[in-house]
Amino acid sequence: MATTQTLKKKRSQSPSATATKRKKKPAAKAKGWRTARTSDRHELYELSVQEPSAEIAFMERAFRERYSRVPTVLREDFCGTGFASCAWVQHRPNNRAYGIDLCTKTMAWGKGRHGTALTTDECKRMQWIKGDVRSTPTEPADVLAALNFSYFLFKTRAGLLEYFRAAFSNIKHGGLFVLDAYGGYESFSVITESRNLDGFTYLWDTEKYNPITGEVLNHIHFRFPDGSELRKAFTYDWRLWTLAEIQETLIEAGFVRPAVYWEGTVKKTGEGDGVFRRKTVGEACGGWIAYIVAEKPVSGKQKVTATSKSAAKRPAGRSAR
């Protein structure tokens, strides 16, 4: 039975942002603090919901649990500013990354912010590709990541399956698809959640949820100590997919052994602890976030290798933190 504490578990926008959500500073008026006028929405977005070092640690751990090596080729679908892909090529000297996104402006911002921080060698290993994730083939990746729920934009089962099939074709045999998802009873409510971050407040606003279609309309707003706001800095018109639907569709697309990594809970506060472990039973809490990891079979049809067999028998994944 769920305890009161687990019912209080809170969702931030991203699994990787759970550590960030515990950073608290009082929102006070002070000279030199951010205002809506002086702020950049992409920078605030990254500060609020992305943490590439945690994402990379998770992807490497999930890969190592199944295969006895580290992954080198990352394909980041919906890469946006390419924050995670750039961190990937910086992380190991042999790492390569493909960042795919439709939005030229967002990628241009990312190239200016993260691309310019790369060495000449790292630049050669980072490919920025403007394109639709469904129709932009690349070298098959060890890990294909679709994070911050970006694939929720596919609102029908057929649309989701089409994307998962495309993802399947862009992953090596013996590679992984890493996604995230959120849910919990609060996600079906028209509410706004806020988190105080370093000099600004992040607001996750669920404007609409339609229980008949599963469609959800969310916005991210930012509020500043001087009272100014960046309203609707980002808007997401999504389908709120359940973990069961996602896992079923992954299998339909050809993936095997989809596994859910559920976040642990800090007993004292009832909040997520930022550590994701492989679980088959989750808590029916108000808000949760989770990773889903699915395997592309080593060759052709489903094949359980010695390594993946022993990995499957291993207890829940260790934390990379």
User: What residues make contact with ligand SAM under the rule CB under 6 A?
Assistant: 49-50, 78-80, 100-103, 106, 132-133, 147-148, 150, 153
Q: In angstroms, what is the minimal distance from the CB of 315 to ligand SAM?
A: 29
Q: In angstroms, what is the minimal distance from the CB of 80 to ligand SAM?
A: 3
Q: Classify each residue of 95-133 as buried b or exposed e, where b means 16 or more C-beta atoms within 10 Å of its C-beta.
A: bbbbbbbeeeebbebbbebbbeebeeebbebbbbeeeeb
Closest CB to ligand SAM belongs to which residue? 80
Nearer to ligand SAM, 67 or 78 (CB): 78
Output the six-digit token pair for 5. Answer: 């504490």
Nearer to ligand SAM, 50 or 206 (CB): 50
- In terms of C-beta distances under 8 Å and separation of at least 24 residues, what long-range contacts does 263-267 make, across chains too? 263/9, 263/15, 263/18, 263/288, 263/289, 263/290, 265/5, 265/6, 265/9, 267/5
Contact of 292 with 179, CB cutoff 8 Å: yes
In angstroms, how far apart are the furthest CA atoms of the chain? Answer: 62
Nearer to ligand SAM, 87 or 311 (CB): 87
Q: In angstroms, what is the minimal distance from the CB of 102 to ligand SAM?
A: 4
Nearer to ligand SAM, 98 or 262 (CB): 98
Q: In angstroms, what is the minimal distance from the CB of 101 to ligand SAM?
A: 4
Contact of 51 with 20, CB cutoff 8 Å: yes
Q: In angstroms, what is the minimal distance from the CB of 138 to ligand SAM?
A: 12
Nearer to ligand SAM, 93 or 131 (CB): 131
